[in-house]
């Protein structure tokens, strides 16, 4: 629980934000909660991935997912990230024995792919509910989250004492 809360609050730390005016990405932050879900899904399996994904998604939905409304420029929809994180946690948990968690390049690829797929799913769900949000970042956030992934994996592994031998 503590790791999930720390991951949640780290997303709003300003010194971790990036902005590329040339690429018109807006401000991007790494998705620490998603890395947290990926870490536990790969290390603990599908059941842990499912439940941690669900609660991490609810935590993410509690404040971040907002998009256009007539009166207020942003309204909150509860459940979109929760749905996406739950599917991701369960799927990666089922695949955990096939993925080498000790290899940095594997972590980079898994985190990049999972972030891209999750953001695409959230964007599609958001578009079906209200409208497609044109400035929702995909690639830049996925790259940044993948770059932070191995570091966060190492810190989570040290904190929760989960090594490569526990499969």
Angle between helical axes of 2-10 and 32-44 (0-180°, round to 10): 150
> pLDDT of the chain along its 167 residues, tens only?
667 777 766 766 655 666 555 555 566 778 888 999 999 999 998 999 999 999 988 888 876 544 444 444 344 577 888 999 999 999 999 998 888 888 888 999 999 999 999 988 888 887 776 666 665 677 878 888 899 999 988 888 888 876 544 44
Tokens of 114: 């999972």
Three-class SS state of 61: helix
DSSP 66: E
158 CB neighbour count, 10 Å cutoff: 10
> Contact at 8 Å (CB) between 68 and 41?
no
d(C-alpha 56, C-alpha 97), whole Å? 23
Tokens of 120: 């695409």
User: Which string of b and e fits 4-42 if b means at least 16 CB within 10 Å?
Assistant: beebbebbeeeeeeeeeeeeebeebbbbbbbbbbbbbbb
Q: In this predicted structure, what is the pLDDT of residue 92?
A: 93
pTM of the model: 0.80
């Amino acid at each position: 629980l503590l790791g999930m809360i720390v991951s949640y609050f780290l997303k709003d730390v300003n010194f971790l934000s990036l902005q590329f005016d040339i690429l018109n990405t807006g401000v991007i932050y790494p998705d620490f909660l998603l890395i947290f879900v990926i870490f536990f899904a790969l290390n603990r399996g599908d059941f842990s991935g499912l439940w941690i994904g669900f609660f991490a998604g609810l935590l993410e939905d509690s404040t971040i997912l907002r998009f256009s409304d007539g009166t207020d420029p942003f309204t909150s929809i509860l459940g979109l990230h929760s749905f996406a994180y739950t599917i991701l946690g369960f799927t990666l948990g089922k695949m955990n024995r096939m993925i080498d968690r000790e290899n940095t390049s594997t972590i980079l690829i898994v985190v990049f792919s999972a972030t891209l797929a999750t953001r695409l799913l959230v964007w599609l769900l958001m578009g079906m509910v209200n409208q497609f949000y044109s400035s929702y970042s995909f690639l830049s956030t996925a790259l940044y989250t993948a770059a932070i992934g191995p570091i966060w994996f190492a810190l989570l592994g040290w904190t929760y004492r989960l090594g490569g031998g526990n499969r």
